[in-house]
Amino acid sequence: MLVLLGGAVPRADAAPRRTPRVRPVTIIGGPADLLPEIRVEVATPTLLFFPTAIAESTLTVDEQPRTVDTAVVPVDGSRIRILDVGKRTILVQPVEDLRPGERHELAVFFTDGREPARAAFALVTDPAEVDARIDVERPKPPDTACPAEAPRLPPRPEDFVLLGYVDKNGVQTDTVEPAADGTGGLRSGPGGAYRGATWLLVDVKISNSAGQQPWTPREATLTGKGGVELRARLVSVGSEQVTPGGSLRVLAVADTPPTSAGEVFTLEVRGSGGRNLEIPRVRFPRRAAEGDR
């Protein structure tokens, strides 16, 4: 009976059953930070999986260089065995459970040179859990987003002269007559034609008839004498679309054409739905001759 009873009683020195865990661990970024703990035990190897390649030759335990151990007990007497090292993995296991308060530092360097360049951990034994796998993570780099752009100051009269948009001849102007496309429901009111030192600009308001689809101007050209064509940049004021029954102010800007193109142009504004508006007889003032300045 005593033998039977003795066999039924668990041995006091039996190894505890610990719960295996798989979890991510973020390495520290500075020397003043506490090392993250990795929970190891004699019965379960722990796999460390790194986000990028590691330098095997830099692996240390308690600051001593370490390689893969083939013996049951490391030849240097260490209580930590390195079972395997790969390009992005380390398999580690103690020769016996570590005592309460006992800690061993495992460290290795990455090969990419990014910060933090070194991954270091404190190996401990926990009474309830063991880390079967650790997914090593690097801390995210600090936010380097550009600061908010300061609001731009409105342009000043002197800016136009300094940038070369206006010279001693100033800005010359003329009028633009109304136009309509006839079938597409688009029309323009009276507008203005402007000539600067190196640029032309047409300023018109385009209306969309009620019952038509919304219309968005997309591109424009100015065609002069001899078929000289200038690609114009479109600027819509207040919106990008003309609603049915609504109107939209549109500016068309182009570089100064050669003298051979003349002063009278046709402005064509092409838009959505294949609907275009042609404004003929857009007359720009003639540049003053050198002797007239």
CB 108 within 8 A of CB 90: yes
Rounded CA separation 57/46 (Å): 20
pLDDT at 10: 47
Q: Which of 272, 218, 216, 277 is nearest to 241 (CA)?
A: 216
Name 119's Cβ contacts closer than 8 Å, sequence gap at least 6: 27, 50, 54, 107, 108, 109, 110, 136
Q: Look up tokens 């330098």; give the residue.
A: 55
pLDDT at 152: 76
CB 38 within 8 A of CB 48: yes
Rounded CA separation 262/287 (Å): 11
CATH top-level class of 17-137: mainly beta
Residues across the chain:
293
Q: Which of 202, 183, 205 is nearest to 194 (CA)?
A: 202
Q: Look up tokens 């999986």; give the residue.
A: 49
The answer to whether 17-137 and 157-292 have equal CATH topology is yes
User: Tens-digit pLDDT profile for the chain (293 aa)?
Assistant: 344 444 444 444 556 689 999 999 999 877 778 999 999 999 999 999 999 999 999 999 998 888 888 777 776 778 999 999 999 999 999 999 999 999 999 999 999 988 899 999 999 999 999 999 999 999 887 665 666 677 777 888 778 887 788 888 888 899 999 999 878 899 999 999 999 888 999 999 999 999 889 999 999 999 999 999 999 999 988 888 899 999 999 999 999 888 889 999 999 999 998 899 999 999 998 876 544 44
SS3 content of the chain, % helix, strand, coil (to 5): 10, 45, 45
Total Cβ atoms within 10 A of residue 124: 18
Rounded CA separation 193/233 (Å): 15
157-292: CATH topology is Immunoglobulin-like (2.60.40)
pLDDT at 197: 87
Residue 226: Cβ-neighbour burial (10 angstroms; 0-12, 13-18, 19+): exposed
Distance of CA 287 to CAs 174, 177, 236, 267, 290, Å?
12, 21, 27, 20, 9
pLDDT at 244: 92
Is residue 291 helix, strand or coil? helix
Q: For the chain, what are the domain ranges?
A: 17-137, 157-292
Q: Which of 103, 112, 110 is nearest to 136 (CA)?
A: 110
Rounded CA separation 269/250 (Å): 10
pLDDT at 94: 95
Q: Which helix (H) or strand (E) holds 219?
A: strand 217-223
pLDDT at 289: 58
Q: Look up tokens 């940038």; give the residue.
A: 163
Q: Which of 256, 96, 102 is nearest to 172 (CA)?
A: 256
Q: What is the pTM of this model?
A: 0.49
